[in-house]
C-alpha cells in the first residue's frame, strides 16, 4: 500500500514539475515568430478585437500553439474527436473545441497556447470554457498566465478540477488587469499552460474564449 501511494505521489509531483518547467519567458516579438504567425504583427490595440475564438473556424488563430513536445492543441469536432474518447456535452451550440492531443503512443507532455500581444484595459475579463480530467486527482494541470514584459503571473489554476469523475465543461471568468492599472492599459500576453498525462482518460480542452470589456461585472470561478 505504501509503495502504491508513493508511486502516485511521484507521478503527481513529476507532472507539476514538467508543467512549470516550461514557463520560460520568451519574446513575443521575435522575427522568427512573426514569420511563422503573420497575425502577430497586428498592433496591440487592434489585437483586442481578435482574441475571441469559439474554434468554429477550425483554427486557434490568433491564439497560437507553442507546445515544446509531442502534445499539441488541435481543433476537434464534438461528433468525431481524434483524441481517444468523446468529450462531455458543450455549454453552447458549437460543433468544435480545442483539445490537447497526444501522439499515437499517448505520450504525456506539456501544451502551451498563447495570444498575440494586445492592450488590456483596467477591469478587462477573459471568459473561457474548460474541461480537464485525469485518472489521478490533480495529475493534470491547466493554468492561465498573464505575461507583461516577459514577467509571468498566474491568474488562475484549474488543476483542482482534474479528477476521474469530471465529465462536464465549466465556464470561468478571470480579470486580466484590475482597476488600479493605468487607464491607457498595458500591452500583455495571455498564456494557457497545461500538462496532459498519458492515460486514456486524461484530457484537457478549451472552448469559447472571449475578451469581455471592463463594463462586465463578472466574477472569477
pLDDT in tens, the chain (221 residues): 444 443 433 344 444 443 444 444 444 446 665 566 666 678 899 899 889 999 999 999 889 999 988 899 999 999 888 776 789 999 999 999 999 999 988 899 999 999 989 999 999 999 999 999 999 999 999 999 999 999 999 999 999 999 999 999 999 999 999 888 889 999 999 999 999 999 988 999 999 999 998 764 444 44
- Give CB contacts under 8 A, 24+ apart, made by 25-29: 25/147, 25/150, 25/151, 25/152, 26/66, 26/150, 27/150, 28/114, 28/116, 28/117, 28/147, 28/189, 29/117
Mention the CATH class of domain 2-212. Answer: mainly beta
SS (H, E, C) 32-46: HHHHHCHHHHCCHHH
| Alpha carbon of residue 196 to chain centroid | 12
DSSP 117: P
Give 61-97 as a DSSP string.
TTSEE---SS-EEEEEETTS-SSSSPPPPPSSS-SEE
Is the separation of the CB atoms in 25 and 184 below 8 Å?
Answer: no
DSSP 7: H
Amino acid at each position: 500500500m505504501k509503495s502504491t501511494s508513493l508511486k502516485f505521489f511521484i507521478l503527481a509531483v513529476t507532472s507539476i514539475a514538467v508543467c512549470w518547467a516550461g514557463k520560460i519567458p520568451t519574446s513575443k516579438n521575435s522575427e522568427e515568430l512573426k514569420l511563422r504567425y503573420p497575425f502577430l504583427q497586428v498592433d496591440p490595440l487592434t489585437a483586442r478585437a481578435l482574441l475571441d475564438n469559439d474554434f468554429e473556424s477550425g483554427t486557434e488563430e490568433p491564439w497560437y500553439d507553442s507546445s515544446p513536445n509531442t502534445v499539441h492543441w488541435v481543433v476537434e469536432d464534438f461528433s468525431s474527436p481524434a483524441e481517444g474518447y468523446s468529450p462531455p456535452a458543450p455549454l453552447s451550440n458549437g460543433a468544435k473545441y480545442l483539445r490537447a492531443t497526444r501522439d499515437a503512443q499517448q505520450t504525456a507532455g506539456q501544451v502551451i497556447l498563447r495570444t498575440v500581444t494586445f492592450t488590456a484595459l483596467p477591469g478587462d475579463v477573459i471568459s473561457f470554457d474548460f474541461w480537464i480530467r485525469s485518472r489521478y486527482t490533480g495529475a493534470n494541470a491547466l493554468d492561465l498566465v498573464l505575461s507583461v514584459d516577459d514577467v509571468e503571473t498566474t491568474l488562475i489554476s484549474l488543476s483542482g478540477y482534474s479528477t476521474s469523475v469530471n465529465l462536464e465543461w465549466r465556464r470561468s471568468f478571470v480579470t486580466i488587469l484590475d482597476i488600479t492599472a493605468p487607464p491607457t492599459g498595458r500591452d500583455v500576453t495571455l498564456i494557457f499552460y497545461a500538462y496532459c498525462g498519458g492515460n486514456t482518460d486524461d484530457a484537457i480542452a478549451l472552448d469559447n474564449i472571449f475578451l469581455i470589456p471592463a463594463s462586465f461585472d463578472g466574477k472569477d470561478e
